[in-house]
Amino acid sequence: MVDAHRTFVIVGGGLAGAKAAETLRAEGFSGRVILIGDERDHPYERPPLSKGYLAGTAERDSVFVHETAWYAGADIELHLGQVVTSIDRAGRSVQLGDNTVVHYDKLLLATGAEPRRLDIPGTDLAGVHHLRRLAHADRLRNVLASLGRDNGHLVIAGGGWIGLEVAAAARGYGAEVTIVEPSPTPLHHVIGPEVGQIFTDLHTEHGVRFHFGARLTEITGQDGLVLAARTDDGEEHPAHDVLAAIGAAPRTALAEAAGLETADRAHGGGVAVDASLRTSDPHIYAAGDIASVDHPLFGTRLRVEHWANALNSGPAAARAMLGLDVSYDRVPYFFSDQYDLGLEYSGWAPPGSYDQVVIRGDAGKREFIAFWLKDRRVLAGMNVNVWDVTDTVQGLVRAGRPVDPDALGDPSVPLESLL
330 within a domain of the structure (yes/no): no
At 212 the pLDDT is: 98
Q: Is residue 93 part of a domain?
A: yes
Residue 273 falls within a domain, yes or no? Answer: yes
Residues 233 and 308 in one domain: no
Same domain for 91 and 142: no
| Co-location of 133 and 174 in the same domain | yes
Whether 235 maps to a domain, the answer reads: yes
- Is residue 165 domain-shared with residue 241, that is, in the same domain? yes
Last residue of a domain, one of 289, 321, 353: 321
Q: What is the mean pLDDT of residues 46-53?
A: 97
Q: 18: burial class by Cβ within 10 Å (0-12, 13-18, 19+)?
A: buried
Q: Are residues 86 and 42 in the same domain?
A: yes
Domain boundary among 193, 211, 246: 246
Per-residue pLDDT tens digits for 358-379: 999 999 999 999 999 999 999 9
Q: Are residues 146 and 226 in the same domain?
A: yes
Residue 230 has pLDDT above 80, yes or no: yes
CA distances to 74, 142, 334, 381, 396 from 392, in Å = 36, 40, 15, 10, 6
Q: How far apart are the C-alpha atoms of 394 and 404, rounded to whole Å?
A: 17
**Residue 248 to residue 115: CA distance in whole angstroms:** 4
Task: Specify whether 133 is located in the same domain as 31.
Answer: no
Choice among 65-69, 207-211, 297-301, 355-359 with the minimum mean pLDDT: 297-301
Q: CA 177 to CA 182: how far, in whole Å?
A: 17
How many domains does one find in the chain? 3
Biggest CA–CA distance in the chain, Å, is 66
Please give the DSSP secondary-structure letter assigned to residue 222.
E
201 belongs to a structural domain = yes
Name the band, by pLDDT with cuts 50, 70 and 90, for residue 268.
Answer: confident
Same domain as 26, residue 171: no
Gap between the Cα atoms of 190 and 192, Å rounded: 6
In a shared domain, residues 135 and 241:
yes
Q: Is there a domain that residue 39 lies in?
A: yes
For residue 120, with 0-12 CB atoms within 10 Å meaning exposed, 13-18 middle and 19 or more buried, which class applies?
Answer: middle
Distance (Å, whole) CA 99 – CA 36: 14
For 129-187, write each residue's pLDDT tens digit: 999 999 999 999 999 999 999 999 999 999 999 999 999 999 999 999 999 999 999 99
CATH of the domain at 253: 3.50.50.60
Q: Considering the domain boundaries, does residue 179 fall inside one? A: yes
The string of DSSP letters for 174-195 reads T-EEEEEESSSSTTHHHHHHHH
In a domain, 329, yes or no: no
189 pLDDT band (50/70/90 cuts)? Answer: confident
pLDDT score, position 365? 95
> Looking at residues 82-101, what average pLDDT do you find?
97
Rounded Cα distance between 95 and 88, Å, is 8
CATH number, domain containing residue 372: 3.30.390.30
Same domain, 400 and 299: no
Q: Give 351's pLDDT tier (boundaries 50, 70, 90).
A: confident
Question: Both 166 and 227 in a single domain?
Answer: yes
Identify the bridge partners of residue 84 per DSSP, sorted by sequence position: 96
**What is the residue range of 277's domain?**
3-114+249-321
Domain shared by 255 and 107, yes or no: yes
Q: Which of 211, 231, 246 is the last residue of a domain?
A: 246
First CA to last CA distance, the chain: 49
